[in-house]
């Protein structure tokens, strides 16, 4: 008798809801109209609930947590989407959801159906879990900042070429978009700082062989974002310079987490 994985139904439900929300919002944006925020958030909320339920079944083990490459990507994406929807309740950032919902769709399906590599088991000590949670929140906030930077880049390009209609018609003013970007960057920088501090406090050896690359790259990313925020505050950095620094710091974070994880699980099998 065929036994279905308990994560299959919530995973598929989340994927359908993410797809429906993405298609609906994309159609409204193509028409130059605003999507109904309440409907969008309703679809997103149920998608996040299904996504979270699927993750619970995918990651839990009898005595600990198993966090493989695709499971980690899925967990980060659902955290990003949850933060994005919370931000939508107070800030005009619903345009970000047209990028975030497909991210949730892809990562959840990969976590459900893609073959996993070596599955690292995570100790459930409170200090270690707090470090992991802070790292995920920091990565999620910087991911939102990157998507905001890409939308800002698109808006700037369309305005300079005198094509302000269509997709960007309902965007907030350029100055507001830039202020939102730096708000996300400040939040991400604070969370990344707390993540690094908790790592020093609770991880036995941050410079062990399997952690040294992740630690150094995360510290480099922290320096890049620190310089960017200092440049914004002291030198008034904005526009393309701010976007380049944002993308550079985010690439370092991606290498820190996903680069080392990909190599360890699928190449070295450790």
| 184-236 pLDDT tens trace | 999 999 999 999 998 888 777 666 656 677 888 899 999 999 999 999 999 98
Q: How far apart are CA 181 and CA 246, in angstroms?
A: 9
Q: Are residues 52 and 161 in the same domain?
A: no
Q: What would the pLDDT profile of 61-86 be if each residue is shown by its tens digit?
A: 656 666 677 888 888 899 889 988 88
The answer to whether the pTM exceeds 0.85 is: no
Question: Residue 102: is its pLDDT beyond 90?
Answer: yes
Q: Are residues 116 and 150 in the same domain?
A: no
Highest mean pLDDT among 105-109, 124-128, 173-177: 105-109
**Contacts for 211 with CB less than 8 Å, ≥ 6 apart:** 203, 205
Q: Are residues 94 and 150 in the same domain?
A: no
Task: Please give the residue range of the domain that contains residue 162.
Answer: 125-270
Q: What is the pLDDT of residue 208?
A: 61
Q: Are residues 150 and 101 in the same domain?
A: no
Tell me what the mean pLDDT of segment 162-180 comes to. 72
Question: Residue 21: is its pLDDT beyond 60?
Answer: yes
Q: Are residues 143 and 190 in the same domain?
A: yes
Q: Are residues 43 and 19 in the same domain?
A: yes
Q: Are residues 135 and 197 in the same domain?
A: yes
Which of the listed residues 60, 93, 122 is the one where a domain comes to its end? 122
At 62, give phi and psi (nearest 5°). Answer: -55, -40
Q: Are residues 249 and 151 in the same domain?
A: yes
Q: What is the pLDDT of residue 1?
A: 42
Give me the residues paired with residue 122 across strands: 65
Give me the residues paired with residue 66 across strands: 121
Q: Are residues 111 and 175 in the same domain?
A: no
Tell me what the mean pLDDT of segment 119-131 comes to. 67
Q: What is the pLDDT of residue 2?
A: 46
Which is more confident, 157 or 15?
A: 15
Which of the listed residues 85, 107, 122 is the one where a domain comes to its end? 122
Which of the listed residues 122, 154, 182 is the one where a domain comes to its end? 122
Q: How far apart are CA 232 and CA 249, in angstroms?
A: 15
Element (H, E) at 65: strand 65-66
Question: Residue 53: is its pLDDT beyond 50?
Answer: yes
**Contacts for 138 with CB less than 8 Å, ≥ 6 apart:** 188, 191, 192, 194, 195, 253
Go through 9-29 and write b for each residue having 16 or more CB atoms within 10 A of its CB, e for each that does not. Answer: ebbebbbebbbebbebbeebb
Q: Are residues 186 and 93 in the same domain?
A: no
Q: Are residues 76 and 201 in the same domain?
A: no
* Closest C-alpha to 104, from 143, 83, 136, 75: 75
**Contacts for 260 with CB less than 8 Å, ≥ 6 apart:** 210, 213, 214, 217
Count CB atoms within 10 A of the CB of residue 134.
20
DSSP 8-state symbol, 104? H
Q: How many domains does the chain contain in total? A: 2
**Contacts for 133 with CB less than 8 Å, ≥ 6 apart:** none
User: Percent of the chain having pLDDT more than 90?
Assistant: 34
Q: Are residues 111 and 98 in the same domain?
A: yes
């Amino acid at each position: 008798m065929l036994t279905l994985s308990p994560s299959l139904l919530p995973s598929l439900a989340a994927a359908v809801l993410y797809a429906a929300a993405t298609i609906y919002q994309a159609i409204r944006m193509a028409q130059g109209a605003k999507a109904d925020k309440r409907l969008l958030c309703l679809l997103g909320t149920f998608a996040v609930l299904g996504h979270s339920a699927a993750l619970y079944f995918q990651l839990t083990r009898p005595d600990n947590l198993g966090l493989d490459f695709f499971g980690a990507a899925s967990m980060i994406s659902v955290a990003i989407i949850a933060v994005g929807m919370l931000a939508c309740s107070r800030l005009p950032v619903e345009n970000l959801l047209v990028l975030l919902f497909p991210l949730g769709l892809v990562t959840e399906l990969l976590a459900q159906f893609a073959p996993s590599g070596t599955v690292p088991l995570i100790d459930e000590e409170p200090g270690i879990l707090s470090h992991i949670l802070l790292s995920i929140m920091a990565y999620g906030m910087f991911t939102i900042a990157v998507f905001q930077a890409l939308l800002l880049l698109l808006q700037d390009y369309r305005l300079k070429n005198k094509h302000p209609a269509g997709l960007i018609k309902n965007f907030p003013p350029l100055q507001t978009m830039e202020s939102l970007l730096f708000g996300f960057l400040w939040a991400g920088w604070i969370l990344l700082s707390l993540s690094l501090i908790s790592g020093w406090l609770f991880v036995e050896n941050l410079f062990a062989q399997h952690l040294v690359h992740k630690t150094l790259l995360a510290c480099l990313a922290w320096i890049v974002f620190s310089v960017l925020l200092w440049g914004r505050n002291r030198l008034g950095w904005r526009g393309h310079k701010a976007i380049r620094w944002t993308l550079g710091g985010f690439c370092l974070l991606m290498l820190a987490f996903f680069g080392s994880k990909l190599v360890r699980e699928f190449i070295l099998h450790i």
